[in-house]
């Protein structure tokens, strides 16, 4: 399976987005001052979006996500950015033990426009906008609804089709 991978961070601090209010009123945005967050690893192929929540972005959680992708797809050729957790001893060991079933191709540095997973985060941020969430599980519930709904996810770029 050919796919692209990226990760994003979502926090409990609400994002204020454009909205409607009655003329002459002054809308108030309620804020939760607890800065707790969750990270999402996501991989996008021509037919599916696979994601996993994580507390941290490091090599260990990245390798755990790679194992999930291999379990689901069997063989993976993955396009990734140059984040520091995409390279290192744990990732190299994983790739060495799974030479026949996994390959990672690194995108050029500072080129998020080449990664087709980047537009997948926008509908999720829009869904969480102007919404006061009190717990991480509540936020993950709303994110899960966005990521599993094919209608809200952006159309796939043509260069990753099988």
Q: What CATH number corresponds to the domain at position 54?
A: 3.30.420.10
Contacts of 86 (CB under 8 A, 6+ apart): 62, 80, 104, 106
- Please check whether residue 139 lies inside any domain of the structure: yes
**End-to-end alpha-carbon separation of the chain, Å?**
8
Domain holding 130, by residue range, is 2-11+36-160
d(CA 94, CA 82): 17
Say if 120 falls within a structural domain.
yes
Q: With 70 as the cut, is the pLDDT of residue 159 above it?
A: no
| 3-state secondary structure at position 4 | strand
Query: Residue 99 to residues 44, 88, 89: CA-CA distances in angstroms?
Result: 21, 16, 15
The number of distinct structural domains making up the chain is 1
Residue 24 in any domain: the answer is no
Q: Could you tell me if residue 81 is inside a domain?
A: yes
User: pLDDT tens digits for 105-124?
Assistant: 898 888 888 888 888 888 88
Q: What are phi and psi of 6, to 5 degrees?
A: -155, 170
Is 160 a residue whose pLDDT tops 60?
A: no
pLDDT of 126 reads 85
pLDDT in tens, 29-85: 666 666 788 999 999 888 888 999 999 999 999 999 999 999 998 899 999 988 889
Give 75-106 pLDDT, tens digit per residue.
999 999 888 898 889 999 998 999 899 999 89
Residues 88 and 95: their CA atoms lie apart, in Å, by: 11
Assigned domain for 80 exists: yes
In a domain, 61, yes or no: yes
């Amino acid at each position: 399976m050919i796919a692209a991978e990226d990760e994003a961070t979502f926090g409990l601090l609400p994002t204020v987005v454009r909205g409607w209010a009655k003329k002459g009123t002054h809308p108030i945005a309620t804020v939760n001052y607890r800065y707790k967050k969750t990270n999402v690893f996501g991989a996008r192929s021509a037919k599916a979006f696979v994601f996993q929540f994580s507390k941290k972005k490091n090599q260990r959680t990245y390798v755990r996500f790679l194992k999930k992708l291999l379990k689901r797809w069997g063989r993976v050729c993955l396009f990734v950015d140059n984040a520091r957790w995409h390279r290192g001893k744990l990732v190299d060991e994983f790739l060495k033990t799974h030479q026949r079933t996994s390959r990672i191709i690194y995108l050029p540095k500072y080129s998020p426009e080449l990664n087709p997973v980047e537009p997948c985060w926008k509908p999720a941020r829009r869904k969480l906008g102007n919404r006061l969430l009190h717990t991480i599980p509540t936020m993950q519930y709303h994110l899960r609804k966005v990521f599993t709904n094919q209608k809200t996810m952006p159309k796939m770029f043509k260069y990753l089709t099988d």
